[in-house]
A and B are shown apart, each in its own frame.
Chain A
């Protein structure tokens, strides 16, 4: 009778250990994927900032060129006789 009780205890311990291992594996898997997600977000942020900066620069240059053209067109319209001739 004592032998039967000992065997049962061992089986129970084994089952418990297996369950704990599975839980730990699940946790590590979840944490790894979360870290990958974090890395993706960081990279996406950097890329997006770079694109925005480039776009901002282009807009500034375009604005300056437009101002210059406005001035030139204004001068031309102020002296229509030149274009009329």
Chain B
């Protein structure tokens, strides 16, 4: 019995609600029908009043009666109109209420559906998160951008060095140190040769080395041939004593300190004379043919002198 009550009550309430709405509709329809029926009645009453007033002899009494009837008829009509208006208004309000209720129900259903969709979306995302495998790398193997750039830069340098080792050597040579060494060596050799030539001009080649004597004879021939040009004889003298310094340098060093001072002062003069001689040679070389022979002779001498210096 207790279970039947909650199930029966909503049905009863629904039926009562439906019955009430039906009753309202019926009453409205009845009122409207009565109002429609009132119109012919009023027309018939009007015709009767008109005839009675025209055909009656006691017009005043008939007029009074007609006035009363008209007033009552008018009041009745107004009453009917009021009833119909009230019922129509009530019906509209009821319908509006029903529509509002239905709107709320639809909103509730919409909200429930949205909740279900949100739930399904969340579940789907959760499943995707569980299934997806995102690989993770240890920090040791992850390098920042700057380090990557440096790493990319340094191998290029190494590759360049490896690809062109000769270029690096040439660059090292082109840095300037060999030129400076060669120049200083040349100047020192010139200074030494001048000193040795002035001190030991004739006896040294004859006594020490036969090879140098042959060279000396060649040099003398050149001097005899070119007596007119003093400028060309000077580089020959310079080249001739280059071979001698190997034997004479220890004697100077063993001799004493006074010669060292002279050697210190002389390289400046030698340097100056060398510059002056180079300028004149550059000016005169293209005009004469003998200069070609001297150049060839000089080229022949240089390797021999170098060989002697090595020995």
**Chain A residues close to B by CB (< 8 Å):** 23, 26, 30, 33-34, 37, 40-41, 44, 48, 51-52, 54-55, 58-59, 61-62, 65-66, 69, 72-73, 76, 82-83, 85
Contact = CB atoms under 8 A, between A and B. Distances in A.
24 contacts: A26-B67, A30-B71, A30-B74, A33-B74, A34-B74, A37-B81, A40-B81, A44-B85, A48-B92, A51-B92, A51-B96, A54-B96, A58-B100, A58-B103, A62-B99, A65-B110, A66-B106, A69-B110, A69-B113, A72-B113, A73-B113, A76-B116, A83-B116, A85-B123
Contacts of A23: 63
Contacts of B85: 44
B278 interface: no
Interface string B66-79: 01001100100010
A41 B113 contact: no
A69 B106 contact: yes
Nearest to B121: A82
B285 interface: no
Given A30-B70, A58-B103, A82-B120, A52 B92 contact: yes
Nearest to B60: A19
A62 B88 contact: no
Contacts of B183: none
A83 B120 contact: yes
Contacts of B109: 69
A41 B96 contact: no
A42 to B, nearest CB: 12
Contacts of B78: 37
Interface in B72-113: 74, 78, 81, 85, 88-89, 92, 95-96, 99-100, 102-103, 106, 109-110, 113
A40 B82 CA distance: 10
Contact of A62 (B63, B67, B102, B127): B102
Interface of A is mostly: helix
A52 to B, nearest CB: 7
Contacts of A37: 78, 81
A59 B96 CA distance: 9
A57 to B, nearest CB: 10
Contacts of A44: 85
A55 B113 contact: no
A72 B115 CA distance: 13
Interface string B166-185: 00000000000000000000
A73 B252 CA distance: 120
A76 B113 contact: yes
Name the 8 nearest CB pairs between A and B, nearest first. Answer: A58-B99, A82-B120, A51-B92, A65-B106, A44-B85, A72-B113, A62-B103, A55-B96
A34 to B, nearest CB: 7
Contacts of B92: 48, 51-52, 55
B30 to A, nearest CB: 19
Interface string B42-75: 0000000000000000000001000100110010
A37 B120 CA distance: 63
Nearest to B96: A55
B25 to A, nearest CB: 15
A25 B269 CA distance: 159
A41 B81 contact: yes
